[in-house]
């Protein structure tokens, strides 16, 4: 089997890259270890930056997004019994759109399959060879058959547990990493959201986030200990904890309903540099991870492959390798900005057992400063809606 660009992983990064390449007349094959049903149902992120919305729209994927996505012009910060709205659009002229990651994935899978694109689901034992040659090879098993996919380039879009990054020889890559002593318990609930805009809450018992997916579906998160198991969190305990952390504003209540899905995600920051070795390029969670507090993970994945789409177009149309060579350096500027913002939001809003009363006061002071200073609020807002690469 032969293609121009072999892509490992059918998450937002891999699927979007395959679509962008197709629009430029470049062939690709996506290999994915899970089933189509699994990737389309995986509940994860929900916030699209303005730049991600523009990218999806320009790539012809804006129709359902425009119909079902919800434009948000502000977010709320809740802390110490106060509530403050960050008026993002007033401060920056831009907005975010709430549209579930699995909806982005569904739209992309549908677009690729409608265009005759090849996505091989449920492949096993993916491994990469000849990455330092002009004809690298992706080897895997599909329906019990050994398959060899010959390509010009391989792009690893296989997320934080993928295999692509491991194909780079020892000593080439440098990792920058931070783990946090907490995780997020995320739930999707059949409950009408009690909010019009996202609420990020700092509370003595830990962080909580109120988000939404539709007029009937709420998406909520609680800071929990990473060692805790889902079995320790029956639905009643989740609702009671959400109430304690969010019902800090007089007269306001959380709307409850059946919980449709729940999962616990540990929190980590990671950057691996460079994002390329020879004919292997790495994109999205395969090469950088952010804690979800800044809502940046999916947006970074899409921004990476937007660069790769242009770089491959330049290579195939004109034989120019400048953009491919610059890919890692260019992408890392955005990646590090998002790293700092995600770390900052996380540090400001989460409870840390190691925090002494002095550090708790610093958190509250930072939040009050956002609430009282137009320039500090603008800094939060411009990072949240997404900065151009800086
Ligand atoms: P992924 O979406 O992880 O896609 C990688 C794909 O590669 C997957 O389909 C995987 O099955 C496939 N794959 C892996 N290994 C192989 C292999 N060996 N062979 C073939 N295929 C392989 N971000 C937020 O902003 N907010 C959130 O609330 C949030 N929640 C999250 C919850 C979880 C459980 C996780 C894991 C991430 C969450 N994120 C969140 C982060 C965000 O969802 C990611 O940043 C985003 O999915 C990155 O897209 P990606 O395409 O790079 O990787
Ligand atoms: C959602 C996820 C996030 O990580 C975040 O910061 C805001 C919203 C969400 O899933 O809706």
* pLDDT, tens digit (0-9, with 9 covering 90-100), for 306-320: 999 999 999 999 999
By CB neighbour count within 10 A (0-12 exposed, 13-18 middle, 19+ buried), where does 177 fall?
exposed
Q: Identify the pLDDT of residue 173.
A: 98
Asked about 234 being catalytic, the answer comes back as no
Q: Is 369 a catalytic residue?
A: no
Q: Calculate how far, in angstroms, residue 36's C-alpha sits from the geometric centre of ligand 1.
A: 14
pLDDT of residue 162: 97
User: Which of these is catalytic: 19, 203, 292, 327?
Assistant: 292
Asked if 316 is an active-site residue, the reply is no
pLDDT tens sequence across 215-253: 999 999 999 999 999 999 999 999 999 999 999 999 899
Q: What is the average per-residue pLDDT within 37-57?
A: 96
ipTM (interface predicted TM): 0.96
Q: How far apart are CA 291 and CA 263, in angstroms?
A: 15
Confidence band, pLDDT 50/70/90 cuts, at residue 209: very high
CA atoms within 13 A on the CB side of 309: 21
How far are the Cα atoms of 238, 250, 313, 368, 388 from residue 258, in angstroms, in the given order? 11, 25, 47, 35, 40
pLDDT on residue 181: 95
| Fold classified for 180-266+350-385 | D-Amino Acid Oxidase; Chain A, domain 2 (3.30.9)
Q: Any residues with CB less than 8 A from the CB of 90 and at least 6 apart, and which?
A: 73, 74
Q: Tell me yes or no: is domain 5-70+95-176+268-345 CATH 3.30.420.40.
A: no
| Beta strand 28-31 pairing with 118-120 | parallel
Residue 221 phi/psi, 5-degree rounding, is -135, 145
Phi-psi group of 299: left, alpha or beta (phi > 0 → left; psi -120 to 50 → alpha; rest → beta): alpha
Mean per-residue pLDDT, 163-183: 97
The Cα–Cα gap between 264 and 187 comes to: 9
The boundaries of every CATH 3.50.50.60 domain in the chain are 5-70+95-176+268-345
CATH 3.30.9.10 boundaries in the chain: 180-266+350-385
Q: What is the pLDDT at residue 390?
A: 61
Which pLDDT score is estimated for 389? 66
What per-residue confidence (pLDDT) applies to 355? 87
pLDDT in tens, 79-121: 999 999 999 999 999 999 999 999 999 999 999 999 999 999 9
């Amino acid at each position: 089997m032969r293609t121009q660009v072999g892509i490992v992983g059918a998450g937002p990064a891999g699927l979007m890259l395959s679509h962008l390449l197709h629009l430029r007349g470049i062939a690709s094959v996506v290999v994915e270890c899970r089933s189509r049903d699994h990737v389309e149902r995986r509940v994860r992120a929900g916030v699209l930056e303005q730049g991600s919305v523009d990218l999806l729209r320009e790539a012809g994927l804006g129709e359902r997004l425009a119909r079902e996505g919800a434009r948000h012009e502000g977010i709320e910060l809740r802390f110490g019994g106060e509530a403050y709205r960050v008026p993002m659009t007033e401060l920056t002229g831009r907005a975010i759109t709430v549209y579930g990651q699995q909806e982005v994935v569904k739209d992309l899978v549908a677009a690729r399959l409608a265009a005759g694109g090849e996505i091989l689901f449920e492949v096993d034992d993916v491994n990469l060879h000849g990455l330092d040659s002009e004809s690298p090879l992706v080897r895997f098993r599909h329906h019990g058959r050994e398959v060899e996919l010959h390509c010009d380039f391989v792009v690893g879009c296989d997320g934080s547990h993928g295999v692509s990054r491991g194909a780079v020889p020892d000593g080439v890559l440098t990792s920058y990493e931070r783990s946090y002593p907490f995780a997020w318990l995320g739930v999707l609930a059949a409950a009408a959201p009690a909010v019009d805009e996202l609420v990020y809450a700092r509370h003595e018992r830990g962080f909580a986030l109120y988000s939404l997916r539709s007029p009937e579906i709420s998406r909520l998160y609680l800071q929990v200990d990473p060692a805790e198991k889902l079995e320790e969190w029956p639905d009643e305990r989740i609702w009671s904890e959400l109430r304690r952390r969010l019902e800090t504003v007089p007269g306001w209540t959380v709307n409850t309903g059946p919980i449709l899905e729940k999962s616990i995600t540990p929190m980590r920051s990671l950057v691996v540099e460079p994002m390329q070795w020879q004919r292997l390029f790495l994109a999205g969670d395969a090469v950088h991870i952010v804690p979800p507090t800044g809502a940046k993970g999916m947006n970074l994945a899409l921004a990476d492959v937007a660069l790769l789409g242009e770089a491959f177009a330049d290579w195939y149309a004109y034989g120019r390798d400048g953009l491919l060579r610059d890919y890692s350096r260019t992408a890392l500027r955005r990646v590090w900005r998002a790293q700092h913002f995600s770390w900052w939001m996380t540090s400001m809003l989460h409870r840390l057992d190691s925090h002494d009363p002095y550090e708790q006061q610093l958190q509250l002071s930072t939040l009050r400063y956002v609430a009282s200073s137009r320039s500090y609020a603008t800094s939060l807002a411009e990072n949240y809606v997404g900065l151009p690469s800086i």
